[in-house]
Structure 1
Amino acid sequence: MEKLEIFKQVGKNIQQIRQSKGLSQVDLVGCIEGNIDTTNISRIEQGRTNPTLLTLYRIAQALEVPLTDLVKDSTTKVAEK
């Protein structure tokens, strides 16, 4: 998977989790500890920026999900045993 595809997948994961919890981007920003703005969340969700590990951790905490949920690759098939 290429770098831009990874950014887009992470952004898609964040957006899906946020929407499943009924949160707007503004709501999410309000739940995040630290200095982050709605514009940055928008860029992350669109896959247009490379968020730091600390930013991803804060987003995961705000969404109340494990960090792995944000970075998982939903296109990878699980091998059958």
Structure 2
Amino acid sequence: MRDLPDDDSWIPERLERMGRQLQAERMRQNLTQESVFLAAGINRATLQNIEAGRGNPTITTLLRIAHILGVPLARLVDDNGPTGP
């Protein structure tokens, strides 16, 4: 088990990485933001913010997006980078 850092300074970087992974998967499938946010039942700004690494998306929102993309949630939030917590 890992110890948490003393502060949450690592979280914004992790959210940005997750947003890039989500955007890359969407683009890999040749889907527009519009098609994804409409199918997922979320608003445009929510998807834009997630892809930009801003905000604090709920697990429900992430599950909806993963379902629409037809991928496991883990693919969108997987952290294999060397700077992950």
Which TM-score band applies after superposition, normalised by the shorter structure? 0.7 to 0.9
Q: Name the residue aligned to 1:29.
A: 37
Greater mean deviation of Cα atoms: 66-75 or 18-27: 66-75
Among candidates 56, 66, 71, match of residue 62 of structure 2: 56
Q: CA RMSD in A?
A: 1.3
Structure 1 residues without counterparts, runs of 5 or longer: 77-81
2:10 and 2:24 map into 1 onto residues whose CA distance is 21
The one-letter amino acid paired with 1:13 is Q
Aligned length: 74
**Once the 2 structures are TM-superposed, how far is the Cα of residue 72 of structure 1 from its aligned partner?**
0.7
- Runs of 4+ deviating beyond 3 Å: none
1:29 and 1:12 map into 2 onto residues whose CA distance is 16
- TM value normalised by structure 1: 0.84
- TM value normalised by structure 2: 0.80
